[in-house]
Structure 1
Amino acid sequence: MEKKNYKEVLNQITTFIFDVDGVLTNAGIQINTNGEMLRTMNTKDGYALKTAIEQGYNVCIISGGKNEGVRARLKGLGITDIYLGAHEKIEQLDEYFDIYNIKPENVLYMGDDIPDYPVMKIVGLPCCPQDAVKEIKEVATYISHKNGGKGCVRDVIEQVLKVQGKWMKSFSARLSD
């Protein structure tokens, strides 16, 4: 089956859903002497997430990880729909769709590993970082040129917002004040 061109669906995206480990982070985990797992997130990804929210997009996180520091960081960016400890991600996806009356064809989902596979099979624009596993790359309509934790989230958000005329919109308005 031939994949559709991802650019054909950028205009219909209203919702961004992201995994954390391997997408918002580089999938590496540092463990301190107290056993706490530490992750690194990209500030450019954070800026893009915040901008998407400011422009009226739905933004949701569905992750198998349970780190409350991750939740605090994401809440600080303005994300309110955060599902941690989600091992069957399709359940959280269905719940999120029901709450906000979201249609799968309006969703961009970015994942990097096998737990993301079922979700990626049903959304309108399945995406992954450059360093995603082979099976995820095969189901992705768009593979970012950026690795997980290295700007792949910014890449996809910026493309959608630019196509829809919303990138730099709030920034440009502040400059003209």
Structure 2
Amino acid sequence: MEKSYKEIMPQITTFMFDVDGVLTNGIVHISTTGELTRAMNTKDGYALKTAIDLGYNICIISGGVNEGVRSRLSNLGIKDIYLGAHKKIVQFEKYLNDKNIKPEEILYMGDDIPDYPVMKRVALPCCPKDAVAEIQEISSYISHFKGGFGCVRDVIEQVLKVQGKWNGKFDAKYD
């Protein structure tokens, strides 16, 4: 019998995310000068920062190359950011080897076909509510939130709650 996503969450030490369609809503705005811009949810940012502060590994693997994305994520404290990753499995393997991490410790959230090979390798493949059908089919958990609208916060918060690291752990920091 296959484990439920809640049974896998206690072993998660590493969160991996795609950008477009996960950390953003997948819409790219094009300015008159040709600049591509995206929007990210601050609640997702808070959850990412919280996970980093608690010692979790965070890795971003995206096919996009927008340096504004790198800047935003770096400012949250994320160090492992792979942009321009058209074969995400290559960066995934490199990250595992460099950090000595096992696939059984990883939650990966993706939304489209380029995420498929990595999602087939991790313990907890997840996706936003509006992911493509092929990704939803292989996901152990489908967030109730769409990409860019809190799906990252959703999965991080759930893992931290299952591991007893979310509720009441931040009071002193914000008093």
2:92 maps to 93
Sort the Cα spacing of 1:45 and 1:25 in 2 relative to 1 into closer, same or farther, 3 A.
Answer: same
Partner residue in 1 for 2:53: 54
Q: Distance in 1 between matches of 2:96 and 2:134?
A: 25
Q: Give the deviation of 1:5 after TM superposition.
A: 1.0
Which residue does the alignment assign to 2:11? Answer: 12
2:35 match: 36
The aligned counterpart of 2:159 is 160
Change (3 A) 1:168 1:97: same
CA distance in 2 between partners of 1:102 and 1:81 (Å): 13
> Shift of residue 168 of structure 1?
4.4
Flag structure 2 segments of 5+ consecutive residues without an equivalent: none
The percent of aligned pairs where both chains have the same amino acid is 70
The answer to which of 22-31 and 167-176 deviates more is 167-176
Counterparts in 2 of 1:107-118, with a 5 A limit?
Answer: 107-118=106-117
Structure-2 residue corresponding to 1:149: 148
User: What is the Cα-based RMSD across aligned positions, in Å?
Assistant: 1.2
Listed one character per residue, the Cα deviations across residues 50-95 of structure 1 (whole Å, up to 9, x for unaligned) are: 0000000000000000000000000000000000000000000000
Q: 3-state SS of the aligned residue for 1:86?
A: coil
Deviates more, 1:159-168 or 1:114-123: 159-168
Give the letter for the 1:80 counterpart: K
Q: Which amino acid aligns with 2:88?
A: K
Is the deviation greater in 166-175 or in 94-103? 166-175
Contact 1:20 1:61 in 2 (8 A): yes
**Residue pairs, 1:46-85, within 5 angstroms:** 46-85=45-84
- Number of residues paired by the alignment? 175
Give the distance between the partners of 2:90 and 2:141, measured in 1 at CA.
Answer: 24
> AA paired with 1:105?
E
Alignment match, 1:45: 44
Deviation, 1:32, is 0.4
- Paired AA for residue 46 in structure 1: G
What is aligned with 1:130?
A: 129
* Paired amino acid for 1:113: D
| 3-state secondary structure, aligned to 1:9 | helix
Rate the CA distance shift 1:45–1:175 in 2: closer, same or farther, 3 A: closer
| CA distance in 1 between partners of 2:168 and 2:95 (Å) | 27
Aligned AA (1:15): T
TM-score (norm: length of structure 1): 0.96
Structure 1 unmatched ranges of 5 or more: none
| Deviation of 1:167 (Å) | 1.1
